[in-house]
Amino acid sequence: MDASRRDFIKASAMAAVSAVAGGAIGGGLLAAPREIEWVKSVCRFCGTGCGVMLGVSDRRLVSLRGDPEHPTTKGLVCAKALFLPKIVRSSDRLTHPLIRRDGELVRASWDEAMDLLADRFAEAIENHGPDSVAYYGSGQALSEESYLANRLFKGGIGTNNVEGNPRLCMASAVGGYVTTFGKDEPMGCYDDIEHARVFFLIGSNTAECHPVIFDQILARKQARRDVLVIVLDPRKSPVKTIADVHLDPVPGYDLAVMHAMAHVIISENRHDEEFIRRHVRFRAMQDGAAVDVSFDDYVRFLEQFTPEKAELISGVSADSIREAARLFALGPTTSFWTMGLNQRVTGVWANNLVHNLHLITGNIGKPGATPFSLTGQPNACGGVRDTGSLCHILPYGRVVGNADHRGEMEKLWGARPGAIKPEPGLDTIEMFRALGEDRIKAMLILTTNPGQSLPNLSPYRDAMGADRRGKPFIAVIDSYPTRTTELADLVLPAAMWTEKSGVFGMSERRYQYQPKISDPPGEARPDLDVLLDFAARLEKRGVVPRGYVSSRLRTADEIWDEMRLASRDTAYDFMGITRARLKAERGIRWPAPTEEHPGTARRFVKGEDPLLDRGPYADNSLSPGDVKFYAAPGGRAIVWLRPANPPAEPTDDEYPFVLSTGRVLEHWHTGTMTMKAEELRLAYPECFAEINPVDARRLGLRSGDRVRITSRRGEIVVRARVVDMPRAGMVFVPMHFEETDALVNRVTIDAYDPGSKQPEFKVCAVKLARA
Amino acid sequence: MTVVGAYARIDPASHRSVRARLGAIEGIELFSLDDAGKVGLVIEARDLDDARARLLAIAGDVDGVLGVWPISVHLEGGDQTAPGEKNQENRTSLEA
């Protein structure tokens, strides 16, 4: 590269940083080399939804930078994003359909592959009924893809066996929002970071898993000395470096801590009586049914969770609990949480208890005050939760158990009346159990890797792959070979990210458009094309009504328009988020019922939420700034009296340690993308187990030793990393590694929350031994 | 060649000394930003691996640096080679 070009690119890098971080060097994107065209897009990784600018030259992605004009992420990206151009071009991309013959996956034509897919599904449906087939999707699929698959299976085939990997990560957050506020999704937004005085970070390694959010919190704390951070996490993740109070409960016992915080808040008269009187009601479960109780009942309930009693249950000192409660009540308080709360058998309840703290202190519905569940995938929210692509729900807040909701969707979809079943389909764990029992005869898996990510993995790998008479047919659509494609009977190569266009919906209800800028390798096709083709072939075989999909939907644009119609007059109303707006703007937060509406920062707040002005939720008796939880019965959010139940598998003499799984900065989920970048892979060339020094001394283990981690379900052997991060008695293992010895989900437990059906990845009992 | 633009978030109280320590790292060009709690960085590296190593060195080894946030990456020529391709090349040459 010649000197002038080098200087130019360096000056351009300086300009990009200045645009984001504040500086005098201008020029930025305009100054880029002329052959580079800059296109706005969205990062492919987590649910933060960072805006990015992609530099394209000769239809190749050559540069990536944070988009300084993005309204919330403001040009920030994390290290993983820098590697995306390289990851997309990985040489092991799947490029041709593969069919398993004599035990080997061999190349096939698309026509042959799609006929096989349609034949096997049609055969199962005709011989065993619609519930003998299933779809398992992803929070990484585009919204249009998930919506179409959901539409095809529920309204066309007639089965609610529609699931996706958000069941493993976000279902308890959904359950928390729905049971407390009546509908899913956060009411606040990232803007709240700039207004919060207190941050409550619970079960969230924000620094490594959502680095851009963490930087914004850090900036807020740097800007104002009175900004305070409470961290509730049994592991001293990097987040602890900014904690003013760190609460480290025994894993699985934090519900008592949050109840005790509520106890302190009320007993010290730090609650907001007026807010409670106007906006809250109290409920408890009695004899299996939810009943209304009073504020006094709640106060009496909390007596079993004094800070001292909570200390005995959780191991967190009473003084720390008091300090955290007092800080929380100062407000405005923003809470962020992720899998530490959600991946638990008490996940929904834990979510409820965060909401309780916000509701009793009135820390909600005003700038800087909101309970906010962060998401791990780019489109778990917009793609799966909002489109209703789970076994019990339908698009935009509807449920399969409601006849009116089913009728609305059948009409919109052009399905026959009664096509959608009233009973929920099989949730993720039950779906894979059914696969193992050969009750599911054919399954389509799209953009996800259950062969590595399911808890208690071994029986489910057998369910998918073990050769046997009557073995179910497994088809996988993906961009890379994975631990799931190796089990499949049919593998279809998918376009990824910049090779297709569509919508991602990220954590703050912002829908963003991702344009196609390059062609996929080989014969890979966008998932949407594959689903449309699949639907047409099922129509031809008579197992889906003729024309159900093919006569109505041909393009992503047409699907998006139908999605907008499905949202009309619901609590998600985004009729105003047209394709043209998405292409022109940096995302829009729903609700946005008209094309003139700019999008909504805070739901449920008069003057901000347009649904309080018109439509079925309108209330003209309210004044600007008033809060109304219109999706909840009676317009009041619920403070729940939830028991502090223990985890499914407490430790005992035989299995005395708690295993928690999680992520590291450089890697993402099952590593199918980040392990493709050699630099990232070499950052963690092999799996490891973090072990507290106290435990390591007792076991005679040192860093680098190989340690066997055994549960009642399986074992792994990995290197020990002795470090004062996990609490004593706890072991932490990242989930990214695919080598059989390091497949940590062979050890984890598949017990799940009875409400959300989300498995308890964060707590199971194990024993350790030098290997 | 790879060029990464980034900023380091630093302790404003020790801005000058942190800047001096950062300036001593080879292959990193510093520039001022409006915020005393930040320093702009341009990292010119052989490839992404090299760039990442320098970012890590800044974040982990320089006293007074609270964190480093990359903003942009530009890949030129050979660095576009994906790791698998490199591996295939290596394998071919070894076999030869």
The tens digit of pLDDT for each residue in A135-175 reads: 999 999 999 999 999 999 999 999 999 999 999 999 999 99
- Stretch 10-39 of chain B: residues touching chain A, C-beta under 8 Å: 12, 29, 31-35, 37-38
Q: Name the minimum distance, in Å, from the CA of A507 to any CA of chain B.
A: 21
Please tell me the distance in Å from A715's CA to the nearest CA on chain B.
30
Whether B86 and chain A come into contact, CB under 8 Å, resolves to yes
In chain A, % of residues over pLDDT 70: 98
Predicted confidence (pLDDT) at residue A81 exceeds the cutoff of 60 = yes
CB contact (8 A) between residue A86 and residue B77: no
Interfacial A residues in 67-96 facing B (CB < 8 Å):
75-79, 81-83, 85-86, 89-92
- In this complex, which of B31, B51, B67 lies closest to A14 when CB atoms are compared? B31
Neighbour-count burial of A306, counting CB atoms closer than 10 A to its CB (0-12 exposed, 13-18 middle, 19+ buried): middle
Q: Which of these, A724, A214, A723, A75, lies nearest to B67 by C-alpha position? A: A214
Task: Measure CB to CB from residue A23 to each of B32, B67, B86 and give the nearest one.
Answer: B32
In the predicted model, is pLDDT for residue A552 greater than 80? Answer: yes
Q: Give chain A's mean pLDDT.
A: 94
Question: Which pLDDT score is estimated for B77?
Answer: 63
Question: Looking at chain B, which residue has its C-alpha nearest residue A208?
Answer: B67
Instruction: Please state the rounded mean pLDDT for residues A665-670.
Output: 81
- The answer to whether ipTM exceeds 0.90 is no
What percentage of chain A reaches a pLDDT higher than 90?
Answer: 84
Note whether B70 contacts A82, CB cutoff 8 Å: yes
Per-window interface: A 663-702 vs B, CB < 8 A: 676-683
Which pLDDT score, from 0 to 100, does residue B75 have? 81
To the nearest whole Å, the CA of A26 is away from the closest chain B CA by: 12
Identify which of A10, A66, A218 has the shortest CB distance to residue B42.
A10
Question: What count of other Cβ atoms lies within 10 Å of the Cβ of residue A213?
Answer: 27
Residue A1: per-residue pLDDT: 57
Residues of B in contact with A25 (CB under 8 A): 31, 40
3-state SS, residue A583: helix
Closest CB from B5, B84, B86 relative to A17? B5
The pLDDT of A253-268, averaged and rounded, is 98
Is A258 assigned a catalytic role? Answer: no
Indicate if the pLDDT at residue A594 is higher than 90: yes
A12 and B72 within 8 Å at the Cβ level: the answer is yes
Give me the total of CB pairs closer than 8 Å, taking one residue from chain A and one from chain B. Answer: 149
> Looking at the complex, does the CB of residue A224 fall below 8 Å from at least one CB of chain B?
no
Helix A403-413 × helix A556-567 angle, to 10°: 150
Asked, as a colleague might, if the bond just before A332 is cis with ω within 30 of 0, I would say yes
C-alpha distance from B62 to closest chain A C-alpha (Å): 16
pLDDT recorded at residue A3: 58
- Between residues A709 and A679, the one the model is more confident about: A709
d(CA A30, CA A205): 36
Number of other CB atoms surrounding residue A519 within 10 Å: 12
CB A499 within 8 A of CB A516: yes
Residue A154's Cα: distance from chain center in Å? 22
The maximal CA–CA distance of chain B, rounded, in angstroms, is 59
Residues 40-69 of B with CB under 8 A from A: 40-42, 44, 47-49, 51-52, 55, 66-67, 69
Tell if the CB–CB gap between A79 and B33 is shorter than 8 Å.
Answer: no
- Tell me which chain A residues have a C-beta less than 8 angstroms from the C-beta of B82: 86, 89-91, 676
CB-based burial, A182-202: b 16+ in 10 Å, e otherwise: bbbbbbbbbbbbeebbbbbbb
Q: What pLDDT digit, counting tens, does each position of A179-238 carry? A: 999 999 999 999 999 999 999 999 999 988 898 999 899 989 988 989 999 999 999 998
pLDDT in tens, A357-407: 999 999 999 999 999 999 989 999 999 999 999 999 999 999 999 999 999
Ranges of chain B whose pLDDT falls below 70: 77-96
Q: Point out the residue among A82, A218, A682 whose CB comes nearest to the CB of B9.
A: A218
Residue A323, helix vs strand vs coil: helix
Q: Do B69 and A215 touch (CB under 8 A)?
A: yes
The whole-number pLDDT of residue B69 equals 83
Whether A169 is catalytic: yes
CB contact under 8 A, B72 and A222: no
The verdict on A35 touching B (C-beta cutoff 8 Å) is no
| Tokens of residue A169, six digits | 């990560």
Q: Where are the alpha helices (DSSP H) in A227-374?
A: 255-267, 273-279, 295-302, 307-314, 318-330, 339-342, 347-361
pLDDT score recorded for residue B88? 30
Distance CA A688, CA A718 (A): 5
Distances (CA, A) of A115 to A119, A283, A444, A606: 6, 53, 14, 53
Answer whether B31 sits within 8 Å of A215, measured CB to CB.
Answer: no
Residue A692 structure tokens:
């507290």
Cα–Cα distance for residue pair A24/A15, rounded to 1 Å: 8
Active site residue A514: no
* The two structure tokens encoding residue A678: 């050699």
pLDDT at A724 over 60: yes
Beta-carbon separation of A1 and B76 below 8 A:
yes
- Does the pLDDT value for residue A682 go beyond 80? no
Among the options A49, A252, A365, A376, which is catalytic?
A376
For chain A, the maximum distance between any two Cα atoms, rounded to a whole number of angstroms, is 77
Given a contact cutoff of 8 angstroms between Cβ atoms, the answer to whether A412 and A395 are in contact is: no
The yes-or-no answer on residue A436 being catalytic is no
Residues of A in contact with B48 (CB under 8 A): 82-83, 86, 677, 679
What are the residues whose beta carbons fall under 8 Å from the beta carbon of A292, sequence distance 6 or more? A281, A282, A283
- 8 Å CB contact between A28 and A9: no
Interchain CB contact of A31 with B (< 8 Å): no
Q: What is the pLDDT of residue A24?
A: 62
- Lowest-confidence region among A27-36, A268-277, A336-345, A683-692: A27-36
- List A187, A339, A431, A575, catalytic entry: A339
Position B72 scores a pLDDT of 86
CA distance A637 to A282: 9
Which positions in chain A touch B83 (Cβ < 8 Å)?
A: 86, 90-91, 676-678, 681
> Which among A377, A452, A512, A758 is annotated as catalytic?
A377
Beta strands in A485-552 (DSSP E): 490-493, 502-505, 510-514
Residue range A126-132: average pLDDT? 98
Nearest Cα neighbor of A341 from A751, A692, A670, A763 is A763
**Given a cut of 60, is residue A26 above it in pLDDT?**
no
Mean pLDDT (whole number) for A536-557 = 97
Interface contact flag, B73 A63, Cβ < 8 Å: yes
Quote the minimal CA–CA distance from B32 to chain A in Å. Answer: 7
Query: CA of A368 to nearest chain B CA: how many angstroms apart?
Result: 23
| Amino acid sitting at position A643 | P
The shortest CB-CB distance from A63 to any of B44, B74, B88 is to: B74
Q: Is A3 on the interface with B (CB under 8 A)?
A: no
**Partner-chain residue, chosen from A21, A79, A682, that has the shortest CB–CB distance to B35:** A21
Decide: A662 and A233 in contact? Cβ < 8 Å: no
Q: What is the pLDDT of residue A564?
A: 98
- B69 vs A contacts (CB less than 8 Å): 76-78, 211-212, 215
Q: Do B38 and A22 touch (CB under 8 A)?
A: yes
Q: Which is catalytic among the residues A169, A381, A391, A443? A: A169
Q: Quick check: B33 and A18 CB within 8 A? A: yes
CA–CA distance, A363 with A154 (Å, rounded to integer): 39
| Rounded average pLDDT over A652-678 | 87
**A66 in Cβ contact with B57 (< 8 Å):** no
What per-residue confidence (pLDDT) applies to A10? 81
If you search the block for the tokens 């058998």, which residue do you land on?
A345
Q: Does B4 touch chain A (CB under 8 A)?
A: yes
- What is the model's pLDDT at position B15? 82
- Model confidence, pTM: 0.91
Nearest to A9 among B3, B6, B80 (CB): B3
- The stretch A285-309 carries a mean pLDDT of 97
Whether the predicted pLDDT of A249 surpasses 80: yes
Q: Which of A46, A78, A170, A673 is catalytic?
A: A170
Predicted confidence at residue A708, as pLDDT, reads 98
Query: Quick one: closest CA in A to B1, which residue?
Result: A1
Q: Sort out which chain A residues have CB atoms less than 8 A from B71's CB and list them.
A: 13, 16-17, 20-21, 65-66, 75-77
pLDDT tens digit sequence for A423-432: 999 999 999 9
